[in-house]
Amino acid sequence: MIHLTKSDILHLAKLSGLTLTEKEVKELSYDLSSVITFFEELKETNTKNILPTSQTTGLENITRADKIDTNQTLSLEDVMYNANDNKNNLFKVPIILKK
């Protein structure tokens, strides 16, 4: 069985922005190690004669064509009337994510 160390778990927690207790670190070390071991076992499964499938139920989505109802659309002027700011007929909003 693959074993993730405390250091591995703390590194994953840091990348995920999580704060873990010692108990959670211990539990996650065991649980994630078990999951990885299971996937390692799956990698050994012979799927040579198995066709790929994306779904197995046979169900299909029921869709309809998009139709524009001109009675329910707003003019560009009406849309932009309440916008705080716009540029080239697009809404301009404050930056919320920083580099």
Which CATH number do you get for residue 11? 1.10.20
Q: Residue 46 corresponds to which tokens in the numbers above?
A: 């012979």
- Whether 51 maps to a domain, the answer reads no
How many other C-beta atoms can be found within 10 angstroms of the C-beta atom of residue 10? 15
Classify residue 29: in a domain, yes or no. yes
38 located within any domain: yes
In this structure, is the dihedral angle defined by the CA atoms of residues 35, 40, 44 and 48, taken in order, positive or negative? positive
Structural domain includes residue 30:
yes
Domain count, the chain: 1
* 13 φψ region: left (φ > 0), alpha (ψ -120 to 50), beta (else): alpha
Residue 95 lies in a domain: no
- pTM recorded for the entire structure: 0.50
Residue 23 lies in a domain: yes
Q: What is the pLDDT of residues 56-95, one digit of tens each?
A: 888 889 999 999 898 899 999 999 998 999 999 999 999 8
For residue 83, being part of any structural domain is answered with: no
Domain limits for position 17: 6-43
